[in-house]
Structure 1
Amino acid sequence: MKRSTWWMTMMCACGLALAGLAFAKDKKEVNEYPNSTRQEPKVEMSAGDQKDLNKAADLVNDGKTADAQPLIEKVIGSEKASKYAQAFAHQLQAQVFWDQDKGDDAIAEYKKAIAFDALANAQQFQLIYALAQTQLQQEKYQDALVTLAEWEKLSGKQTADELALKSNAYYRTDQYQPAVDAMKKALSMTDKPSESWTQILMASYFELNQYDEAARIVQAQLDKDPTNKKLINQLATVYIQGDKQQQALDLMAKAKSQGLITTSEDYVQLAKLQASADKPKDAAATMKEGFAKGVVQSTYDTSKLLGDVCTQAEDDACAIEGYTKASPQAKDGNVDYQLGYLLFYSNKSKEAIDALNRAVTKGSLRQEGEAYLLRGDAENELDQNAAAMADWNKALTHASTKTMAAQRIKAAKGGVKVQRAKKK
């Protein structure tokens, strides 16, 4: 299943909150991990290493990583340093690399620190969790899932934050049902979830085509913040994907009545929604209003959209205006073909020929035969008989226009004036 681009842009980034780097001066009275399967190791470190690492940790936490680096390297390079000191030094080195935007190097250092298996449980588990967070940040999603599984196994614990992190990793690896299951459990464990958690849950339902569930989540958020345009657009998109165009239209109509349709993106989305719901006149009116207010700027996409919806609404003058504006920016000839067609049936054969010339020159036409046929008809209208015959002969080589071209050629050779075909 291909992930929707819209949902990807909607997703909130998972923040990285690394474990604090400082020695615990006193043992905590409360055991945070009563179900841990790991034995508490004996903590040993020389007074000199402790002094160096305490100072290095303070410097790292103050953002003075350059000053901390020599102290860290001193411990890492010492053959006499205990496993605990080595583990803590590599943990500090990981933080330095992270602060320097060297995510992969930070991951390598975290793994070295973990491999010593020398830190107290609380520190060791924080370290493993920080590794999973960093892997997620570095888009190593499957690695993050493996690390989180190890964290759960050793700590004997699950938390709302950890499950949310796991759900995020599942989502990024297209494992949408596990993402839903993990996030639902995370949400059940806290009354203060991050906004990004519900976004991940909603996006997972969306990818599973469970649009009613996705809509329910967005609606619950919208009930709390009824003028939130982002949520309105999200809910409209969910409705559209769930083939509930009328609900989407009603939602956007309400937003418009509330004065929430204010940007170019708002007008464009509403017009597209109206067009997809087979309301081209409404779509045309929306685009006209956006242009008239100066909110919608004339770009290739907006101008072509104006041409498209006005064509569907049988508003030829408006469609001609839209396609004329889009023409200079068109990379192929299809817009100019549409423009030529409309100009021809608006009794503007000369302008139609100009547009069709551009269409043929730009190429990549979806209806190449029709372009030649139509240009021949326009030339025939202006009594440019030789040019018309040449274009009809070109149209004769295309299967879609072979029969019509042959009829025109036969009539012209017989001295019969070819009459304008009916507009389709």
Structure 2
Amino acid sequence: MKHTPLFTLLVGAALAFTTATMPAHADDSSKKQTSAYPNATRAEPKLDLKSEKDQKALNDGVAAVNSGDSAKATQVLQPIIDKSDSKYAQAFALYLMANVSFKNGDVKAAIDQSKRSLDIGVLPNDTYFQEMLTLAQMYAGDQQYQASLDTIAKWRTEGKSETADSYGLEGVDYYYLQKYPEAIAAIQKAKSLTDKPKDSWNQVLMSSYAESGQGAEASKMAQSEYEKNPSDSSMLHNASTILLQQQDYAGAIKILEEGRANGALKDEADWILLVKAYLMQAQNGGGDTKAGSAKALAAFDDGVAKGAIKPSADNYKLAGDAAMIGDDDVKAIGYYQKASPLATDGEVDMALGGAYFQEQKFSDAKKYLTQAIAKGVKHKGHAYMMLGESDRQLKDKAGAVAAVKQAALDPETADKAQEWLKKSGK
């Protein structure tokens, strides 16, 4: 079973360039003591910046970038990129412009500028390797996960460095490439390198366990992470979703109800999840369907009263379906009636027509079944069969025959409709 991802990792949105500074080029005697990459295989390049004009422009560009003045940064940096004789000046100007592009939301431009900056190959090691790692993050933010992995591998091989963040990013990349064992290994490595693992890493790890069939591990971790901070809405969502995927309905309900009690249950999606959890427990977990329906509807009504659950066709139809599961046709009709004017197709009206049919209110059933067919339903043959039976109950034989003949045109109901027509002599 393929699961929907349990979280959204906005890698690009969360990424931030470090504060821009003009890098100092360490001489050979001090490099090992001052460099963040003392064991790098890449030799420190020699700077070729001789122009005082370029030096001043780069300093002005740094100041503009750090102050958030994109227009000024572009004005002073672009001429360096286009015309400077200094490879270093061009590379560093491109690095700064990548910063500007990223902050302006143009990730693809930032990636291009960053690649060009690195390809020139003259930045000092500290700047060069930091930019390479930033490029890997931007690739991930642009959903270029394999490119991100390749860049991390190059950064690690040439820079001879390992960090928790690099393995955390690697885990994200592997997760989205659906390479779950590799994602698990990367996140476990990341966590081993720090005593402050990021919440997003744990989300990746939980989801990778769930996706790779290690449901017990996913459930155990989900509950553990939630218990660390039960007032955290995102933890509540992740834990309850994973527990539902593992069909641990009671566990999911427990967490969601705790969230309802302590105020962590905030998002509409999580309120709806609680409603569905009660229904799934009743239908699939061996529970009492009427009791499950009642609890689901109590949660639904509470969410509506608190403004957490908004009026929509889908939401009211869910409540109507819950009432039908509990054999409360009258209550179902009430919810479906609220859903009907909000619906863009005929599915709600078909459900409403079916509820009226159950109540033997055939005139109302006919009205809404006719309306459903006009709006469009997935199972048109079933709608026509129910409409035909409603007409028969209303003593409208011609209408019944006409409806069932329409049902005979649908492969889903053709056999049943033909049998009905044969018995009716038609």
For the aligned pair, the TM-score class normalised by the smaller chain equals: 0.7 to 0.9
1:303 is matched by which residue type in structure 2? Y
Q: What residue is the counterpart of 2:289 in the other structure?
A: 280
Correspondence for 2:386 among 374, 381, 385: 374
Cα distance, 1:159 vs structure 2: 0.8
Cα distance, 1:260 vs structure 2: 5.6
Matches within 5 A, 1:9-408: 9=8, 11=9, 13=11, 15-25=14-24, 27=26, 29-46=33-50, 48=52, 49-78=54-83, 81-256=85-260, 264-277=268-281, 278=283, 279-289=288-298, 290-291=300-301, 294-295=305-306, 296-366=309-379, 368=381, 370-392=382-404, 394=406, 398-407=414-423
Larger Rg: 1
After TM superposition, the structure 1 stretch with the greater mean CA deviation from structure 2, 175-184 or 68-77, is 68-77
2:305 is matched by which residue type in structure 1? G
Q: Distance in 2 between matches of 1:65 and 1:259?
A: 41
Cα distance, 1:351 vs structure 2: 1.6
Q: Distance in 2 between matches of 1:76 and 1:393?
A: 74
Secondary structure of the residue aligned to 1:124 is helix
Q: Is the 8 A contact 2:11 2:137 kept in 1?
A: no
Cα distance, 1:37 vs structure 2: 0.8
1:215 is matched by which residue type in structure 2? S
After TM superposition, the structure 1 stretch with the greater mean CA deviation from structure 2, 120-129 or 55-64, is 55-64
Unpaired runs of at least 5, structure 1: 414-424
Q: Is the 8 A contact 1:333 1:364 kept in 2?
A: yes
Q: Is the 8 A contact 1:19 1:127 kept in 2?
A: no
Q: What TM-score, normalized to structure 1?
A: 0.84
Q: Distance in 2 between matches of 1:344 and 1:55?
A: 76
Q: Distance in 2 between matches of 1:267 and 1:101?
A: 33
Cα distance, 1:8 vs structure 2: 4.0
Cα distance, 1:121 vs structure 2: 1.5
What are the superposed Cα offsets for residues 70-98 of structure 1, whole Å, 9 maximum, x if unpaired? 4434433446x333333223222323333
1:306 is matched by which residue type in structure 2? A
What are the superposed Cα offsets for residues 86-144 of structure 1, whole Å, 9 maximum, x if unpaired? 32232223233333333222222222222222222212212222222222233322222
After TM superposition, the structure 1 stretch with the greater mean CA deviation from structure 2, 52-61 or 142-151, is 52-61
Q: Is the 8 A contact 1:176 1:204 kept in 2?
A: yes
Cα distance, 1:223 vs structure 2: 1.9
Q: Is the 8 A contact 1:267 1:286 kept in 2?
A: no
2:289 is matched by which residue type in structure 1? P
Q: Distance in 1 between matches of 2:140 and 2:201?
A: 15
Q: Is the 8 A contact 1:12 1:199 kept in 2?
A: no
What are the superposed Cα offsets for residues 145-196 of structure 1, whole Å, 9 maximum, x if unpaired? 2211111111111111122122222223222222221111111111122222
Q: Distance in 1 between matches of 2:82 and 2:372?
A: 71
1:144 is matched by which residue type in structure 2? S
For residues 315 and 154 of structure 1, do their structure 2 counterparts lie closer, same or farther at Cα, with a shift above 3 Å needed? same
For residues 339 and 84 of structure 1, do their structure 2 counterparts lie closer, same or farther at Cα, with a shift above 3 Å needed? closer
Secondary structure of the residue aligned to 1:399 is helix
Q: Runs in 1 of length 4+ with deviation above 6 angstroms? A: none
Unpaired runs of at least 5, structure 2: none
Identity of aligned residues (%): 31
Q: Is the 8 A contact 2:401 2:421 kept in 1?
A: no
* Two-structure CA RMSD over aligned residues (Å): 3.0
Q: Distance in 2 between matches of 1:323 and 1:23?
A: 65
Q: What residue is the counterpart of 2:4 in the other structure?
A: 4
Secondary structure of the residue aligned to 2:34 is coil
What are the superposed Cα offsets for residues 284-328 of structure 1, whole Å, 9 maximum, x if unpaired? 324543337624444211221122111111111112222233233
For residues 373 and 38 of structure 1, do their structure 2 counterparts lie closer, same or farther at Cα, with a shift above 3 Å needed? closer
1:40 is matched by which residue type in structure 2? E
1:4 is matched by which residue type in structure 2? T
Q: Distance in 1 between matches of 2:399 and 2:98?
A: 75
